[in-house]
């Protein structure tokens, strides 16, 4: 599939924002984080800012961005629509959470309810994002249980990195965000390695024989493609990346997303910001590969190998 920059930015930035909001909604009510006003402004501002930027950028992938609101009307059958509804609901419950923290410097009592609902909304929105891709049967690399787990794990890992940086900048003295960031990074990239391994070993579910229904006659070969020049289907669903280039990018993503951040975080708070930047770049590369390596079954009609 064509790795549109808008989708890469959206899924990465919004994932980090929802991951951070989830952690804030869980940690703040139980006094794991201070209720100091400016820390709340920075933490919630970063979380909601990343979410808003991601959602805004995602509309550029639509043919008519001004009609994006109509997508939410199909929530009964569309995971994209459910994602939109969940995103708006999360804004609604996060507003009182931010109000209590920033204005009254309080996250207890009634504010605890809005904080926990914010965490639930963030988790549901990330789950819906993952299911948008996992529900697409024509793409084997997406239609599997690994995908929703990966979206959730990377959202939590990048959100944890953001929280660890904020805690260090405000000199709060809590060590658990950094440990959580390291643990979730290992978890996320462990899942990613398992996903890559599973996809490389899986047998294509669709072939030219199954696509045409002529498999009982023997091997099917393409004599002539449906089009003599490039078209929309080939641009959007026929994107190809060389195997050796994909392997190189996997190594680079793993180094930037896991190896380098862990090494930098071992230096203490001084290396946290650089670790967060490296981790973000690693996730961006991995997310780009997530789209670039996906093969749509429509490619079979153009002589491409099965997905």
The pLDDT of residue 86 is 96
Q: How far apart are CA 29 and CA 25, in angstroms?
A: 7
Q: How far apart are CA 157 and CA 74, in angstroms?
A: 31
Structural domains in the chain plus CATH codes: 5-302 (1.20.1630.10)
Kindly state the percentage of the chain with pLDDT values over 70: 90
Burial class (CB in 10 A: 0-12, 13-18, 19+), 296: buried
- Supply the mean pLDDT for the chain: 90
pLDDT for 305 beyond 90: no
The pLDDT of residue 62 is 67
- Write the CB contacts of 2 (distance below 8 Å, at least 6 apart in sequence): 235, 236, 237, 239, 291
Q: Give 204's pLDDT tier (boundaries 50, 70, 90).
A: confident
The pLDDT of residue 236 is 67
* pLDDT tens-digit readout, 246-263: 999 999 999 999 999 999
Mean pLDDT of 265-294: 94
Kindly state the percentage of the chain with pLDDT values over 90: 67
* pLDDT tens-digit readout, 156-172: 999 999 999 999 999 99
Q: Give 16's pLDDT tier (boundaries 50, 70, 90).
A: very high
Q: How far apart are CA 295 and CA 211, in angstroms?
A: 14
* pLDDT tens-digit readout, 19-73: 999 999 999 999 999 999 999 999 999 999 999 999 888 877 666 666 666 677 8
């Amino acid at each position: 599939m064509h790795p549109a920059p808008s989708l890469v930015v959206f899924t990465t930035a919004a994932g980090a924002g929802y991951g951070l909001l989830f952690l804030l909604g869980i940690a703040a009510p139980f006094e794991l984080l201070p209720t100091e006003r400016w820390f709340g402004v920075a933490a919630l501002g970063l979380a909601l800012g990343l979410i808003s930027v991601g959602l805004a950028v995602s509309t550029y992938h639509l043919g008519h961005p001004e009609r994006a609101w109509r997508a939410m009307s199909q929530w009964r059958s569309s995971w994209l629509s459910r994602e939109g509804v969940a995103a708006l609901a999360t804004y609604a419950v996060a507003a009182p959470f931010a109000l209590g923290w920033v204005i009254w410097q309080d996250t207890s009592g009634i504010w605890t309810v809005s904080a926990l609902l914010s965490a639930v909304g963030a988790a549901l929105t990330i789950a819906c994002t993952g299911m948008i891709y996992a529900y697409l049967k024509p793409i084997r690399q997406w239609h599997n249980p690994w995908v929703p787990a990966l979206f959730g794990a990377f959202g939590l890992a990048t959100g944890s990195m953001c929280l660890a940086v904020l805690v260090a900048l405000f000199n709060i003295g809590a060590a658990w965000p950094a440990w959580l960031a390291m643990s979730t990074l290992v978890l996320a990239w462990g899942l990613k390695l398992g996903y890559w391994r599973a996809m490389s070993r899986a047998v294509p579910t669709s072939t030219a024989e199954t696509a045409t229904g002529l498999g009982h006659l023997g091997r099917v070969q393409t004599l002539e493609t449906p089009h003599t020049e490039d078209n929309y289907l080939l641009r959007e669903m026929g994107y190809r990346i060389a195997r050796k280039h994909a392997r190189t990018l996997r190594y680079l993503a793993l180094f930037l997303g896991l190896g380098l951040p862990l090494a930098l975080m071992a230096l203490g708070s001084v290396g946290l910001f650089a670790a967060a930047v490296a981790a973000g770049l690693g996730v961006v590369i991995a997310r780009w590969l997530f789209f670039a390596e996906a093969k749509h079954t429509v490619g079979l009609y153009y002589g491409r190998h099965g997905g």
